[in-house]
Amino acid sequence: MPDLPPNVVRTPDARFDGLPEWPFAPQYLWADLPGLDGPLRLHVVDEGPRGAAETVLMLHGEPSWSYLYRRMIPPVVAAGHRAVAFDFPGFGRSDKPTRTSAYTYELFRAALLDVVRQLDLRNVTLVVQDWGGLMGLPAAALDVPDRIARLVVMNTFLPTGRERPTLGFKVWKASVRVLGRHLPIGALMRIALPARQAPFVQGYTAPFPSARHKAGAATWPLLVPSDPSDPVAEVMVRARAALAMWDKPCLLVWSASDPILGGAWKTFERLVPTAAAPTFVRGGHFLQDASGAEIADHVVAFMDAASSA
């Protein structure tokens, strides 16, 4: 087992003991990623039969982790599929570089592609939300299209730096810029989740026992391109061009009450030729938390329909 690289911390396992609705045993991969002085340990949830014909890969965003998909994984597995979710560097049970400069778009991109290739995921239904979309959709369209069978797109965007951000995103980005590593993740999740979901805030704060563990959460929102000259914007432009020619099935599942991305479904409905009108669910930005089982049912039905077409 490799040593922990310099300037990297690991959340103690005890922080994850007894989390509500989280029965999944941790599994880990080691990845050599750009800009680091050694391999990172990446946490993966890998449930269901390894030899299943269909795999559902679920990508989280900010400041969440695989815990966000706890209500989607069991129904997917019950339908006979393999369910995979992993934590990006700096989040969940994955290792966390302590320098904000370590967190680049290429770091996250390399981590995602490494997981896909190490697990040899094929015939994938890719489920993305928030930053999971900014990472997963370019990967699907540009890097590993041969491994992706269909897309499920939820409350995300592909910003090119030319759009006018919503007020909700402006406030969020400004807050992250000011608070940095002192971002009060627990308080933010209490605001974002419905009152009945309050017991699950513990799950979202578990990965972050100190400010040193929050460098990724303090950086990811700032990587959203606000100018067309941003290198990340160029990736988004190329991804949009590829998705405009996407000929595989695409399902939009959306929460319109999201104050940041509630209306972004219109972009994907226009952009992706195979995307129909969205299926709307409740839940605000973290729609998987409030409507995970319902979303999973939609995903399984979508897969069944696509497979029999």
Among residues 7, 4, 3, the alpha carbon closest in space to that of 213 is found at: 7
Instruction: Check 60, 130, 213, 289 and give the catalytic one.
Output: 130
Q: Is 130 a catalytic residue?
A: yes
Alpha helices in 10-124 (DSSP H): 73-78, 105-118
DSSP, res 275? B
Alpha helices in 101-179 (DSSP H): 105-118, 131-138, 167-179
**CB neighbour list of residue 277: distance below 8 Å, 6 or more residues apart:** 252, 269
Report yes or no: 248 and 149 within 8 Å, Cβ to Cβ. Answer: yes
Percent helix, percent strand, percent coil in the chain, to nearest 5: 45, 15, 40
Instruction: Check 258, 289, 297, 298 and give the catalytic one.
Output: 258
Instruction: Check 60, 81, 213, 285 and give the catalytic one.
Output: 285
**CB neighbour list of residue 10: distance below 8 Å, 6 or more residues apart:** 4, 41, 95, 96
Residue 301 has a CB neighbour count (10 Å cut-off) of 13
| Distance set, CA 227 to CA 108, 236, 260, 264, 285 (Å) | 20, 12, 18, 19, 24
Q: Which two tokens stand for residue 105?
A: 């778009």
Q: Is 285 a catalytic residue?
A: yes
Q: Is 258 a catalytic residue?
A: yes
DSSP, res 104? -
Catalytic residues: 130, 258, 285
